[in-house]
Structure 1
Amino acid sequence: MIRSIVSTAVAGLAGFTATKAVLRSRLRTHESVVRTNHAGHDVSLAEGPAVATGLLAGSLLIEDPRQRTATLLATAAAGSLGAVDDFCESGSSKGLRGHLSALARGEITTGTIKVTGIPLASIAAAAILRSRTRPAGFFRFSQKEDRPWFAAVADVIVTGGVIAGSANLFNLLDLRPGRALKAGALTLAFTDHERRVSWAPSGAIAGVTAAAWPDDLAGDAMLGDTGANALGAAIGVILAETATPAQRRLILAVLAGLTLASEKVSFTSVIESTPGLREIDSFGREVV
């Protein structure tokens, strides 16, 4: 118990420190990371690399080796592929349907690379997570799982879908200052933390969120694909680890439904027209 508490605190501190270090570096003001946001103001994309760095630093403190490896893989891949789309963008296709349509035409864009690369990395991370034997206690595994191979493969695919779907959803939410960070905090607040496997990664995310919060809410910096994908992937691993197989299937169904809905419906319009969501979304925001 004491070891887990200490690991969680250190993970939070590591995430906070690493994120702040990148945000305060020269990268923040470099012309290559400056973009124009929805309100027509200059905003720095340095928050994305800062958040990804903080998440990776904090994830090093995860006690379980498989979860640590899976989290580092999923977060690094999602952040790196998001950075490719942020800083080397090619093609005019937008959204999941647009990227897949471009791929069907034989057009390889940075967005296409991202929407194919993140699922592949997520399945690899899921294979690491699901390679466990049956739990015999916290951080101890003794019995092999007794189930058909096709059930194990299906669980890996579902788990990978949860990780990739979460990465994509948080990217879709990063359209207004603070929205993705708030969604992450609320997700963690309603996640089952009874198992200690969620403590250290949640601590890392909390530290990163605290570090990025002021600049994000002020509209001075934004997550971009780099930070939003990395944050979503890290949260996806937590959800995959703390949920039962049935819950993972439900989570995947919800993520898939929201992704498909985003092709037809504006999340911003829905949020702004829904009491409660509107107030949460605008809370603390200096730029609208």
Structure 2
Amino acid sequence: MIDTRTFRSLVLAAALTRTGQTLLRVGPPGGRERWERRNHAGRTVGLYAGPAAALGAAIAAGRAHPAAGFAVLAAGACGAYDDAAGDHRRGFRAHLGALRSGEVTSGAVKLFGISAAALVAGSFMKERPLDRLLAGVVIAGSAHLVNLLDVRPGRAAGAVLALGAPGLVRAGAGAELAVGALGAAAAVLPDDLGERVMLGDTGAHALGAALGAAVVAGNRRAGLLAHAVALVAAARHGDRLSAWAGARASG
């Protein structure tokens, strides 16, 4: 049973996301062309959902734990930089390979920026050094995981709903952090599935960071370690995971 505070966070995240998306669509800063992209099917979609979802999830997360709200907002900001730069290389290997060659890609900036923010958030959410490190890995890894799944309409938002729903079973900060991601994802899902908007890196990373923060708040060391190992494995096989998600969406 969701308590009143958690329910309010759910409604807040959904309302802020929906309102923000509408306002951005009506008056996109810098002109509509800056906010339009071509999706996998060649249709024109707007990036309005990403910043709106990031803001909605960050504010809801901040109600439960300010450090979590910071991590979500930072993940969204790093994703927004990547969206604006337009570097479509995917996976750690591609960006780290470019970095070794002297090229600092927007993806590398995103990787290190989100990782740093996640470690900062983890240091405030946990007390012991190892737990803080694991918390940072979980938050950053979750942000990366949701972005890996963002290969087809509704894929990332649907994954957030599926992964975040079990967190509602537990009361407390973990559930309140989970509903921030759930409310924002639910608010954008209809337009995402309808191929009118897309989350982009901004929304996918922010929602993933919110899920990661919920895991951190709801688990002790053993749970953190299990999640961290799974997320590192997912990152290691990111190309296969994205290909699987794309195949499942089109199948």
Length-normalised TM-score, structure 1: 0.79
The Cα of 1:267 is off from its aligned counterpart by 3.1
Give deviations 1:125-167, integer Å, cap 9, x for gaps.
Answer: 0000013xxxxxxxxxxxxxxxxxxxx3222111100000000
CA contact (8 A) 2:157 2:186 kept: no
Amino acid at match of 1:182: G
CA contact (8 A) 1:193 1:242 kept: no
| Cα distance in 2, alignment partners of residues 93 and 213 from structure 1 | 25
1:35 alignment partner, SS class: strand
Give deviations 1:86-128, integer Å, cap 9, x for gaps.
Answer: 01345x7432111111222222121111011111110000000
> Partner residue of 2:185?
209
Residue 267 of structure 1 pairs with residue 242 of structure 2: yes
Residue 85 of structure 1 pairs with residue 82 of structure 2: yes
- Change beyond 3 A, Cα 1:234–1:98: same
- Matched residues, percent identical? 34
Give deviations 1:157-196, integer Å, cap 9, x for gaps.
Answer: 1110000000001001011111111111111223363241
- Change beyond 3 A, Cα 1:230–1:253: same
Residue 27 of structure 1 pairs with residue 3 of structure 2: no
Residue 169 of structure 1 pairs with residue 126 of structure 2: no
Q: Which runs of 5+ in 2 are unaligned?
A: none
CA contact (8 A) 1:33 1:87 kept: no
> Partner residue of 1:13?
11
CA contact (8 A) 2:168 2:179 kept: no
- Change beyond 3 A, Cα 1:129–1:87: same
Aligned length: 247
- Change beyond 3 A, Cα 1:243–1:101: same
1:61 alignment partner, SS class: helix
| Cα distance in 2, alignment partners of residues 39 and 256 from structure 1 | 31
> Partner residue of 1:112?
108
| Cα distance in 2, alignment partners of residues 105 and 94 from structure 1 | 17
Q: Which has the larger radius of gyration?
A: 1
Structure 1 segment 176-187 matched on structure 2, within 5 A: 176-187=152-163
Residue 96 of structure 1 pairs with residue 85 of structure 2: no
Q: Which runs of 5+ in 1 are unaligned?
A: 63-67, 132-151, 273-277, 283-287
> Partner residue of 1:145?
none
> Partner residue of 2:70?
73
- Change beyond 3 A, Cα 1:220–1:192: closer
Match of 1:38 among 31, 37, 40: 40
| Cα distance in 2, alignment partners of residues 217 and 49 from structure 1 | 17
> Partner residue of 1:143?
none
| Cα distance in 1, alignment partners of residues 63 and 121 from structure 2 | 17
| Cα distance in 2, alignment partners of residues 9 and 228 from structure 1 | 23
Structure 1 segment 187-266 matched on structure 2, within 5 A: 187-191=163-167, 193-263=169-239, 265=240
Cα-Cα RMSD: 2.2
The Cα of 1:199 is off from its aligned counterpart by 2.7
- Change beyond 3 A, Cα 1:112–1:166: same
Amino acid at match of 1:59: A
> Partner residue of 2:133?
157
Higher helix share: 2
- Change beyond 3 A, Cα 1:86–1:246: same
CA contact (8 A) 2:53 2:184 kept: yes
